Amino acid sequence: MSDSGRFRGGRGGGGRFFDHGELRQVVLALLGEQPRHGYDIIRAIEQRTGGAYCPSPGVIYPTLQLLEDVGHAIPATADGTRNSYQITPAGRAFLDENNTLIGDIMSRVARAGRRAQASPIIVAAMDNLKSALRSSADPWSEPEARNVAAAIDAAANHIRSLRQDTVKNSAGTASENIDMDSINMEATTMLHSIARIESERASIYLQQLCKHFAHKAPVEFTSEKGQITFSSGICRLEAKDSVLTLMADAEDEARMTKLQEVVEKHLIRFAFREPHKIEWHAANAE
């Protein structure tokens, strides 16, 4: 079933808004909230994505029929008309069994909505940053990547402080320029540590960690790489050649210790079948 409908842009700049099968799960999640008819579902998806995606009736109604065919939804009206649908116990059980996966999809929908509602100036600046990061076909060296990541982290912290200042002083207007020298200085003082765990399940652990924290913190990941932004710092993950590499960046020792403990605690929980001793080392000692 094609993911048809109005779609302004996409993840990574183009393509489908949902991967195969994801729209069906979103529709089921919406039915899990309340009975809905087709156009109600269309409006709900358009609103939650901030207008970034609006599915067509030609994809929503076949999706509802498919959910009915597999026993996850039934017509909600007593006379059997197809105007409204409600979730079945089997559909509710499916949502519970796939809570993490569907929660990740719905979080992505919410992020799309927030981004679509952002200031055009900010969106343009974000696009400019993405363009700069993709400006070279050559891969980043490790020192380059760490310097760039630290500079972005510093900018992110500065932006957070601007928002906090705005909340504290709502009567005034925040007008402040970013001091690039201070950003560069902060980039050089960030602490970096690294840990490597050998396992055939490296990619699985990477994805489990990212999916778990996606409900609590900003997360981006593929099967090979991931990044989790905690309040204490940033953890980047890489699964390659049966090795899971954890790279932690924090502003000071206290935050670094907290970051390492959180990541280590959850990794040990997911990797209980093959206990590992996780040893962190300063990155410059590698």
- Tens of pLDDT, residues 95-118: 999 888 888 888 888 887 666 665
pLDDT at 108: 84
For residue 11, is pLDDT > 70? no
Q: Are residues 213 and 171 in the same domain?
A: no
Assigned token pair, 81? 């008309």
Mean pLDDT of 36-58: 84
11 and 108 both lie in a single domain: yes
- Residue 121 is assigned to a structural domain of this protein: no
Q: Are residues 168 and 106 in the same domain?
A: no
Number of domains in the chain: 3
- DSSP tag of 237: E
Asked if residue 103 and residue 20 are part of one domain, the reply reads yes
Q: Summarize pLDDT for 126-175 with one digit per residue, the tens.
A: 767 877 777 766 788 888 888 888 888 888 888 877 766 655 554 444 44
Q: How far is CA 208 from CA 21, 39, 127, 219, in A?
A: 20, 35, 29, 12
Do both 227 and 237 map to the same domain? yes
Between residues 239 and 43, which one has the greater pLDDT?
A: 239
Model confidence at 235: pLDDT above 60: yes
Residue-number span of the structural domain to which 251 is assigned: 190-286
Residue 239 corresponds to which tokens in the numbers above?
């699964």
Query: Which of 189, 205, 232 delimits the end of a domain?
Result: 189
Give helix 22-33 / helix 99-116 axis angle, nearest 10°.
90
Percent pLDDT > 90 in the chain is 31
Q: Is the pLDDT of residue 78 over 60?
A: no
The answer on 209 and 161 residing in a single domain is no
Task: List Cβ neighbours of 135 (8 Å cut-off, separation of 6 or more).
Answer: none
Given a contact cutoff of 8 angstroms between Cβ atoms, the answer to whether 213 and 228 are in contact is yes
What pLDDT, on the 0 to 100 scale, is given for residue 187? 44
DSSP line for 191-223: EEEEEEEE-TTHHHHHHHHHHHHTTTS-EEE-S
Give the best-scoring range by mean pLDDT among 5-14, 124-133, 213-222.
213-222
Q: CATH number of the domain that 196 lies in?
A: 3.30.310.50
* Helical (H) or strand (E) element with 102: helix 99-116
Q: Could you tell me if 197 and 184 lie in one domain?
A: no
In a domain, 122, yes or no: no
Q: Give the Cα separation of 10 and 23 in Å (integer).
A: 15
* Local confidence band at 182 (pLDDT 50, 70, 90 cut-offs): very low
- pLDDT score for 149: 87
In a domain, 17, yes or no: yes
Q: Is residue 151 located within the same domain as residue 199? A: no
Q: What is the pLDDT of residue 145?
A: 85
State yes or no: pLDDT of 61 exceeds 70: yes
Per-residue pLDDT averaged across 64-73, rounded? Answer: 93
Q: What pLDDT does 164 receive?
A: 64
- Write the single-letter amino acid at 58: G
CATH (domain of 62): 1.10.10.10
Rounded to an integer, what distance in angstroms lies between the CA atom of residue 10 and that of residue 224?
A: 21
**Residue 77 corresponds to which tokens in the numbers above?**
């009206």
Q: Which of 145, 167, 189 is the last residue of a domain?
A: 189
Same-domain check for residues 195 and 258: yes
CA nearest to 73, candidates 39, 109, 19, 36: 36
In this structure, is residue 128 part of a structural domain? no
On the CB side of 81, CA atoms within 13 Å amount to 7
- Round the average pLDDT of the chain to a whole number and report it: 79
Specify if 130 maps to a domain: no
Residues 269-285: what's their mean pLDDT?
A: 79
172 and 195 belong to one structural domain = no
What's the pLDDT at 174?
Answer: 40
Per the domain annotation, does 220 fall within a domain?
A: yes
**CB count in 10 Å sphere of residue 266:** 15
- Lowest mean pLDDT: which of 89-93, 103-107, 217-221? 217-221
pTM: 0.39
Confidence of residue 84 (pLDDT cuts 50, 70, 90): confident
Q: Pick the residue with more confidence: 110 or 280?
A: 280
Of 49-58, 98-107, 178-187, which one has max mean pLDDT? 98-107
Contact assessment for residue 75 and residue 68, using Cβ atoms and an 8 Å cutoff: yes
Percent of residues, the chain, with pLDDT higher than 70: 76
Residue 60 covered by a domain = yes
Are 167 and 194 within one domain?
A: no
Neighbouring CB atoms inside 10 A of 126's CB total 12
- Local structure of 127: helix, strand or coil: helix
Residue 184, domain member (yes or no): yes
What is the pLDDT averaged over residues 52-75?
89
Instruction: Mark which of 62, 88, 116 sits at the end of a domain.
Output: 116
Provide the pLDDT for residue 51. 72
Question: pLDDT at position 81, please?
Answer: 46
Domain identity same for 240 and 156: no
